A and B are shown apart, each in its own frame.
Chain A
Amino acid sequence: MADTDDEMRERLHEIWGEWGLRTEHASIAAQLDALAPIHAWLSEGDAQPEIVIRAAQCLLADPERPGLNKRASWTFVRKAVEKHWASASTAAESVLSVQALLLAAWPYDSDDRTIVRLLDGAWEVMVGRERQQKTLCQWRDELGALEPEESELPAEGAKAELTLPEYSGAIPATAAAGLQYFNSNQATSLQYMQFGTHLVQVLNGYKASMEEIGGVLGGLIKGIKQALVDQESSETLRMQSALAPVEGMRNKFDLLWWGQARYCRSLRKPYRHIRDAGEALWWAAWEAAGIARDIEVEPAAAYLVETLSSLGHRPEEKQPLGRWMEGLHESLKQAEGRAPALCERLTALVKQDALGLPVSWVRLQAARREPLTDAPGAVLLPLDAEIDRGQWATWVFREALLDLHLEADE
């Protein structure tokens, strides 16, 4: 996608054409000149997620909704690049042309993909905007495309001559314990009445193995990281990058185990004992997000939905977005002090403008014991759009992840 000056210019011309704007406009040269500074500003989003969030909110906004140019997302973006837009003859109400500039100048090679993906829920309820749909879907899909595959091993030729610390933990010996038991009692294992007992023993062995593996991995990572402290050679960096997938693997183990156990640590009871489906959905999404911070979003979200399904919650059950928001609001109010608060950065963002962030806005309202009466104007989404429980669960999960990402950056 567009990143060089020429590519951005070509892209802007394409967008103008698709959106029905004139391409021989008097201010064309100035608008083209504004692309590079806007691109540079958007690239700062790698370090400042607020830039990415606000710019993405500007793109999410339907230009036909009233009062758009008075929203915080709009004024934030506009203020940052005002002098370039002013010279580009884009008036305060030129929402469409500014959206075109943002899209054409978006830095597709930056690391902000994750943040943009966490706003995916809003695109799922997007309706109309026919002229803009193709371009915006391209932008959305491009940012959601595969990133270059990370090598799980240090690059060839890298000779890591680090002395790893000795790890005193035992090599997991119970990994095959359950199966050994099963094999040694084959005669009775084949009898139906005995089978359940043996299976429980197998699973217990499996659980113990997993915990030991997790412990070994955790200790290993910690030890290696410690050994790498103060070493800034390229070899060290390669080693550190090689550790990331190992950490991700551990998160996957944790998530898989969480999904099998179906135990809510926050409420200290099994999920099946949580009678309210909305409450179970919220806690499951929140806990899964806490575990899945460093792994791929979509598989983790899909696993969350399957976990809810295994609890008997029908993922295909549909209701309007507004109803899902009301349900979450009720659940959070009932949870009172146990519900985690939004991190400070997300609170500041949502307080000013919650466009496209219904979950975070509901969390904020519940924490403040405020009603949802302003929901249509606050989140600027079609609240009557029907989505199913699976979609809503992944939406809650993504915004919980956004909260945790911003909190980690604080």
Chain B
Amino acid sequence: MSASLVVTPLACQNGDCTLPMGGRCARAAEFADPLVDCPELLRQSQAPDPVLVNPAPQPSELLPADAAPWRGRHLDAEEAEQLLQRSPARLIAVLGPYNAGKTSLLASLFLQIANGQYGPLPYRFSSSRTLHGFRELVNRANQWSGKEDAEIVQHTPKEQAEHAGHFLHLGLRPGAPSDDRHIDVILSDVAGEWVSEWKTRADDESRRRLSFIGRSDGFVLVVDAAALMGPSGATMDADVGILIRRTVGEMRKVPTTRGLSLVFSKFDRILDQVSPPAVADRQNRDAWGPLGKRIPRIWAALGQAREAGLDVCPFAVSAFPRPLAQGQPVGVLPPFAHVLSLADRRERWPSRPVPIREGASFFSSMRRWGAAS
């Protein structure tokens, strides 16, 4: 094969190879350029293209019979449903207005846990069916120069393409050695415009798009802290307040407690005006200083959420305080740890009550040991 040709890897016969999905060749150490030299790789030669690894639609006849039944990109509703039929996956709704930083938060979350930086998260990374989706986000974030007005990741498109995916997947394993479960976590990644339409219009189409909210096991509501402190802060406060109330309205149908993390994103941009409160003071509006004063509607809505049974906690987060090579994210994991701690509660089930027949003999009226009378 000519080394001058740029090639696209289609599939690999080596089960450990993730190169076609944008990962690493399992035999990377053997070849100077596995993309060109590895004999196990099925590839397609093509005209030079600046993007070498391109998992574009692939001819199915070239795929091995046991190829993974997912594409690696964002999951669409059908694919998410397949996961839900396998196990009670934890669906976390990540919501917020346009440009709040939802996708950046997800990219940063992936970077941290894939890198083994778990912090307060009592889980470790195990798998992902949307590795390529995450990789695309991270690649884009890696190109960010650090300019505030430049996009860190591409905005999630609001156009509804056929089979467009709006969910990212993480397979997590609990940190406790005695707990060997594999927990599927599905994170919504929908356009801010959709959220706004659902919040205001709530017509059939917008309800259908965000129908997963009623099924969600937890909520991460993202709001741009810098925008709240800016000239349009009052409008933002009102919008997010309404969004929280709408979300609470959906949750009234769910009997068990869910977590709601309110993420003040891009917090690094307001550090000169507001200091993030101590962990114990997060629930105290005054502890948020000037920011707390700018969010009366949000705070009132959070009160309603608590009354409705949601376990609410605000967090200060900087997903990308600096370009990737120059700084670490701050506070990305705690909002997800909060939500997952409620979505993955491990409480013991109640004992089966032992019924006693009316007029039963003394023998028959003896109950189970330890059962409440």
Residues of chain A whose beta carbon lies under 8 Å from any beta carbon of chain B: 19-22, 25, 62-66, 90-91, 93-97, 120, 123-133, 137, 140-141, 144-146, 149, 252, 256, 295-296, 298-299, 301-303, 305, 315, 376, 382-385, 388, 390-391, 393-394
The answer for the CA separation of A376 and B181 in the assembled complex, in Å, is 12
Q: Which residues of chain B from 75 to 93 have any CB-CB distance to chain A below 8 Å in the complex?
A: 81-82, 84-88, 91
Q: Is the CB of A298 within 8 A of B368?
A: yes
Given A21-B81, A64-B182, A391 and B344 contact (CB-CB distance below 8 Å): no
Across the interface, which residues of A come within 8 angstroms of B178, CB to CB? Answer: 376, 382-384
Q: Which of B81, B349, B357 contacts A22 (CB 8 A)?
A: B81
Determine the distance from Cα of A384 to Cα of B347 in the docked complex, in whole angstroms: 13
A residues in contact with B81, CB < 8 Å:
21-22, 25
- Residues of chain B in range 344-368 having any CB-CB distance to chain A below 8 Å: 344-355, 357, 363-368
Is there contact, CB below 8 Å, between A302 and B352? no
CA distance A367 to B27 in the complex (A): 47
Bound complex: CA of A394 vs CA of B350, how far in Å?
A: 16
- Which B residues lie within 8 Å of A388 (CB)? 370
Which B residues have a C-beta under 8 Å from some C-beta of A? 81-82, 84-88, 91, 178, 180-184, 215, 256, 344-355, 357, 363-370
Whether A65 contacts B352 by the Cβ 8 Å rule is no
Centre residue among B181, B355, B363 by max chain A CB count within 10 A: B363
By a CB distance below 8 angstroms, the chain A residues around B349 are: 123-124, 126-127, 133, 137
Which of A90, A124, A144 has the most B CB atoms < 10 Å from its CB?
A124
A128 to B341, CA, bound (A): 12
A137 to B348, CA, bound (A): 12
6 closest Cβ contacts across the A-B interface?
Answer: A390-B369, A64-B181, A299-B366, A63-B87, A302-B366, A305-B369
Q: Which of B85, B180, B353, B357 contacts A65 (CB 8 A)?
A: B180
Flag if B346 contacts A123 (CB, 8 Å).
Answer: no
Q: A64-B181, A93-B86, A123-B352 are in contact. Are A391 and B363 (CB under 8 A)?
A: no
Residue from the list A19, A127, A295 in contact with B347, Cβ < 8 A: A127
With a cutoff of 8 Å between Cβ atoms, the chain A residues found around residue B180 in the complex are 65-66, 376
* Interchain CA distance A384-B176 in the complex, whole Å: 11
Q: Is there an interface contact between B348 and A385, defined as CB atoms closer than 8 Å? A: yes
CB distance from B214 to the nearest CB of A (A): 9
Contact, CB under 8 Å: B366 / A127: no
B357 / chain A contacts, CB cutoff of 8 Å:
146, 149
Which partner residue on chain A sits nearest B81 by CB separation?
A22
Kindly identify which residue among B86, B91, B354, B355 contacts A20, using a CB–CB cutoff of 8 Å. B91
Instruction: Kindly list 11 other residue pairs between chains A and B, CB separation below 8 angstroms, not including A64-B183, A128-B344.
Output: A21-B84, A22-B84, A63-B88, A91-B85, A123-B351, A127-B348, A137-B352, A302-B366, A383-B178, A384-B178, A391-B369
The answer to whether A94 touches B86 (Cβ under 8 A) is yes
19 residue pairs of the A-B complex, CB under 8 angstroms, read A64-B87, A64-B182, A65-B181, A91-B85, A94-B82, A95-B87, A123-B349, A129-B88, A131-B88, A133-B349, A141-B352, A144-B354, A146-B357, A256-B363, A299-B363, A301-B369, A303-B366, A315-B370, A382-B178
**A394 x B369 contact (CB < 8 A):** yes
| Complexed CA–CA distance, A199 and B140 (Å) | 91
Query: Which chain A residue has the least Cβ–Cβ distance from B89?
Result: A20
Give the contacting residue for B369; candidates A62, A66, A393; CB below 8 A. A393
A91 to B69, CA, bound (A): 12
> Is the pair A96, B352 in contact by a Cβ cutoff of 8 Å?
no
Min CB–CB distance B309 → chain A (angstroms): 14
User: Chain B residues near A383 (CB, 8 Å)?
Assistant: 178
Return A210 CB to nearest CB of chain B, in Å. Answer: 15
Which of chain A's residues has its CB closest to B350's CB?
Answer: A137
B86, B256, B351, B368: the one contacting A63 at CB < 8 Å is B86
Instruction: Return the contact of B348 from the options A63, A66, A126, A305 (Cβ within 8 A).
Output: A126
